[in-house]
Structures are given as structure tokens and as C-alpha cells.
Chains A and B, each alone.
Chain A
Amino acid sequence: MPINVISAGIATTIQDMGRPGYYHLGIPMGGAMDRLALRAANLLVGNDEEAAGLESVFVGPELEFTEDATVAVCGAELPPKLDGEPRETWTAFPVKAGQVLSFDFLKSGARAYIAISGGIATPPMLGSRSTYAIGALGGVEGRAVQPGDTLPLGKGSKPVREGLSVPANLRRGPGNPAELRVLPGLYWHRITEQAQKDFFDDTWKVANEADRMGYRFQGGRKLEFVEREQPFGAGADPSNITDACYPYGSVQVPSGTEPIVLHRDAVSGGGYFMIGTVISADMDLIGQLQPHTPTRFVKVDMDTALAARHDRASTINAIREALA
């Protein structure tokens, strides 16, 4: 039995853990920007933790249930309401057929993950239900959720204890200022030593252009380039390179002015140089940054990146154990 979408919020999309394997054709992995939050929400409602849920940005949807279900909302502090009555985030709660789930105003973070027992069961494309709107893949007919849509639910979720909650110390979110750890590399040698220092010394701010493709930052000093004669095919601007692949999390700085960190729906390549890459452990945090959030980039080495990756995996394991 489906869920009826009464209103859709600003940009509510169906997301799971994405479709790896097609990046060489320009089709990004996609999937939840804050993967830890979607995993936690799925675990709370007894789903496979990679099941498809809803990713809402700033404003939540209004959903009418046509069958009983369990729901959990994790990630941003976007307080859920059931028939107008407040419910807790990071906590499983029951919903009866006929009830309406809506949301209060955003308190912190940017993206809330709504998991529903059974998981959303729209048809997968290339192995995933994740919405990639540019390529019209996944989601509802390749697009974001709209009022009037009906969302089918799957079966096979485990029964859960009502009121089950993710312990507060395992709820991960960005601080203020946010700190994103970056491994320098790629075309790092293209900027001067002074610029390499400035980039990590300055406090940046999230710009308004911040979406599933990438997050733009403003407010730091312009990066100066090491002089060179531009190679054939690269283009005239010193920030241009011969069009190449872009890693997920890579930090490109067109004309040396505003860094852009590519995220889950990254363009797979292009002609701008990159100074490094946000480490895998911190990708989730980017999805929770609101525009204007002060942000510091923190220089790390590979050992630190791998240790942070291990820490994040331990946190997810601790959530699994707490909810088992």
C-alpha cells in the first residue's frame, strides 16, 4: 500500500546507497548525501540499512499513510509531527493508516532522512532507486518527489521496538565552524606555497549554490597560481587543465576564487584543476551544512584519513549494536 505525497518540501528525493560502477560514463554514484543518517534511520525501522528512504532539504514533506508503518527521521534536526503531534528525531515511532506525517521548522543541519518500514519500493535503475535528476534516473520517473505522487513500500522489514533511539553520542553532525578534512593532492602543485597556506588558514562560508552535485564556498583569499605556459588542450585560464576525471569530494577552484567540493551527484569530469579531496569520513558532514555556515578546511595525511574512516565505521557499528 502506498504513501500519498500531499506536499513535497523543497527538494525531497528518494535515495539509497547509490549506483557505483557507471562513473566512467558520467553517471555518478549518487545516493544519500549523509549516508550514516540514512543507515541509522533504516536500522531504527527494521529495514535493510541500505534501503531507499527520503532525503529532504531544509523543509520536510507532508505524507499520508495508507497502512500502518514504523518511521524514523535522522540527520538534520527537522522535527517530525504525526497528525500535528511532535515526535522525536533519531527515534522510531509508529504510524497508523490514515495518519499524516509532517514537519516543523528546521532547527539545525540541512538534510533529514526519512525511513519507513519496508523501504520505498520504486523501480531500481542500474541497481539503485536513488534519484539522479540530471540523468532522469531512479526516484519517481527520474525526478524529485511531487505532490500527488504515491510512493510504494516494500516488505520484509524486521519488527522493531517502539521508541528505539540512536544514543546522542552516536549522532554525528558538523560543528560550528564546520571542519572538513582534506588530503592535498591532484593539482595541489599548481598553486603557490602562500596559497597552499591561505587555503587552510582562512575561514570559508558555504555559498547558496550547494546541492547534491557540489558545495561552493566563499570568503577566503584568492589562490594564486604557479606560472606556467598552459598545456595544449587545457584552455587559457590558469585554473584550467586538460579535461580530466573528478574524484568524489575533490575540491576544484575555478579561477582560484571559490572552492567547490563535489558530492554524491558529482559531474564526473571537466576542465578545472583540483587542490585535494575531502576525506571519505567527512563526506556525510557536507550534506548537513546550511548556506553561510563558517567552514575550515583541515589538512590531513593519508594515515589520518584512514584512521578517520575507521572511526566512522566504528560509529556505524556502535549504532548497529545499540539498535540490535
Chain B
Amino acid sequence: MSSRYTFGGDEHIFVEVDEAMSLEAFFVSLSMTNAVRDANIKGVTEICPANASFQIKFNPDVIHPNDLMAELKRLEATAESAEPVLDTRIIEIPVYYQDPWTHETLMRFRERHQDPDATDIEYAARVNGYDSVETFIEAHSGAPWFVSMVGFVSGLPFLYQMVDRPRQIEVPKYLRPRTDTPRLTVGYGGCFSCIYSVRGAGGYQMFGITPMPIYDPEQKVSYLQDFMVFFKPGDIVKWKPISREEYDTAIEEVQAGTFAPRIRNVRFSLDEYNADIDGTNAKLMEALHAD
């Protein structure tokens, strides 16, 4: 893997770790951005990790773009030698698949879709070779996911599934983006799942909805009182399919301020994962459901 460095005007350096998505590329992006943060370089104002790339914003009045470029390339060696181990958290996110709200929305935008006669999840199941929506949901919610980027809009997580490539789900985005997506829609585009943190435009396929707010500028939600954004890159997520009744109960709990997502601290090793994917995921599930 050889990173490609390029300037984004006079205030950004953009580094593409790899053209293709992989956990290896994500880990390099994460360790590079950590190394840049630790180096505390004067003039650096924003450090943004992404799926297989990252971006540094800087003030060129403080540091010359060429000097920062040289400094970043120097840090690449440090980052590459870093052990790909991450102390992080695993979070269980309830998902009400095929809910009435995303269904109503997707029906309004059928003319922008590849397959106007199917729903988004029926289409995704079919193009990925699943014989039913139920088995597709089992695959989507079976293995955990890495939050590989937070962005697009306020606190929106992109998630990448922790399975080998043949099992990875790939779904095209809408032909033309929708002008509306319900808040907290669980979506899918390319090889990424996402949660729409706010209502708005979107091009990802819509599979369901979570009752769990992930962005709250007023910080009234109990678990968002420290900061208004829930996710950070490196979080691990496990989807938990829920029924309408469970969804309604969770919404009541959120409103009462008693909803508490299940969160456990875990250590993840990329080498262990690559040696035994299913075994590593099984251990993560044990940690999630312990006590």
C-alpha cells in the first residue's frame, strides 16, 4: 500500500491510502491521523480520517504547504510501524428493518431507483444473491461493522462490515439522489452502511430505521450530554433487528431519557482478525453480551 499525497488548494493536504476500501487501508488512515494529532504540528487546524484516505486542513500563513507535506510523509513510516491494534467500544444499535417511514419515503422516489417495482431492501437482497429479504437481514445484522468515517453531514457514520470480501454486501446508490430521507434511516451505498443523523437529501438505499438518536445539538438525549455527536471512527457496531413493539418501547425510553445503548469496551487486533474473522467476531459478541 503506497499512499498518494495531493494538495486540496492552499489549505488542505489530501492523502489517499488506497483507491479501494479495506480494513487495512482504514487502519493506516486511522493511525496516520492519530500520528498527526500526536505530532501537534503548528498550523494544523483539522484532522479528518476517512474510509481509505484522510485530510489535513492547515493555515499556510503558519506552515508552508510543502513543509507540512514533507512532515506528513515522514509520519507515514511511524504510522506504518504502529501495531494495528485498537482500543475501542462495541455498540449495539437496534434497527427496525422495513419500517413504515422509510417505506413511505422510498415509494415517493421510485422513479429515481434502479428497480421501481421492488423496495430498496428487496432490490439489495436480489443483486447480492440472497433468496429472501429475511436472509439478507441476517447477513446485514449478523457480523459487526467498523465506523470507518464520520461525516457528509452532522455526525453521520459510514460503516464497513467485518466479513471477508466475498461476503461483503455491495449495492449501487439511487440513480438520482432523493430530496428526502427520514432522520435515523439505516442506509446502504457501495460497500458502506450508514445512519442518516438528520433528515435530508440522500442517495443510499433505505433498509430500516433506528430509534436511537446519534446527533443532538441541544444535548438533551441522556447519552449525548457530553457531546452532541455519538460516533467516532473506530467504533464497532452490531445491528440488532427489532420489531415494531420494541421500536415503540425504545422511542418511549429515548423520550423519557432512560434509553441506554449497550456499549462495551473491547480491544481489536487487525492481525488476529485477518487470521480468524469469524472467531474474532464471536469474541466481540461475547464481550458485547457479557454481564
Contact = CB atoms under 8 A, between A and B. Distances in A.
A279 B10 contact: yes
Interface in A203-261: 231-236, 240-245, 247-250
A137 B217 contact: yes
B134 to A, nearest CB: 26
A247 B13 CA distance: 9
Nearest to A182: B9
Interface string A21-59: 101111100000000000000000000000000000000
Nearest to A126: B228
A228 B150 CA distance: 28
A247 B56 CA distance: 9
B10 A183 contact: yes
Interface string B47-87: 11111111101001100011000000000000000000000
A234 B19 contact: yes
Contact of B53 (A244, A270, A280): A244
Interface stretch (B184-192, B246-254, B271-279): B184-192
Contacts of A245: 14, 48, 50, 53-55, 151
A40 to B, nearest CB: 20
Interface in B152-190: 152-156, 158, 165, 172-173, 189-190
B20 interface: yes
A128 interface: no
B16 to A, nearest CB: 7
Interface residues of A, number: 49
Interface in B1-50: 6-12, 14, 16, 18-22, 45-50
Contact of B45 (A21, A233, A240): A21
Contacts of A305: 9-10
A214 B181 CA distance: 20
* From B16, B20, B154, residue with most partner A Cβ within 10 Å: B154
A271 B52 CA distance: 12
B20 A232 contact: yes
Nearest to B4: A189
A10 interface: no
Contacts of A27: 154-155, 229
B217 A142 contact: yes
B200 interface: yes
Contact of B7 (A26, A134, A278, A302): A302
B242 interface: no
Contacts of A24: 46-49, 150-151, 233
Contacts of A243: 50-51, 149, 152, 158, 190, 192
Contacts of A177: none
Contacts of A280: 9-11, 60
Given A26-B153, A245-B48, A186 B8 contact: yes
Contacts of B10: 183, 279-280, 302, 305-306, 309
Nearest to B57: A23
Q: Main SS of the interface on chain A?
A: mixed
Given A26-B153, A309-B60, A233 B9 contact: no
Interface in A295-324: 302, 305-306, 309, 313
Contact of A231 (B6, B20, B65, B192): B20
B154 A185 contact: no
Contact of B151 (A20, A136, A247, A268): A268
Given A235-B189, A245-B53, A25 B9 contact: no
Contact of B154 (A134, A244, A302): A134
A283 B154 CA distance: 23
Contacts of B97: none
Interface in B215-234: 215, 217, 229, 232-233
B14 A185 contact: yes
A203 B69 CA distance: 33
B133 interface: no
Contacts of B287: none
A23 B154 contact: no
A247 B198 contact: no
Given A26-B151, A185-B7, 20 more contacts: A21-B46, A134-B154, A135-B198, A185-B14, A231-B21, A232-B22, A232-B165, A232-B191, A233-B52, A234-B21, A242-B20, A244-B53, A247-B14, A247-B55, A249-B8, A267-B151, A271-B173, A277-B12, A279-B9, A309-B60
Going nearest first, the 9 A-B pairs with the smallest beta carbon separation are A233-B21, A247-B8, A277-B9, A245-B55, A135-B154, A231-B20, A268-B151, A26-B151, A247-B12
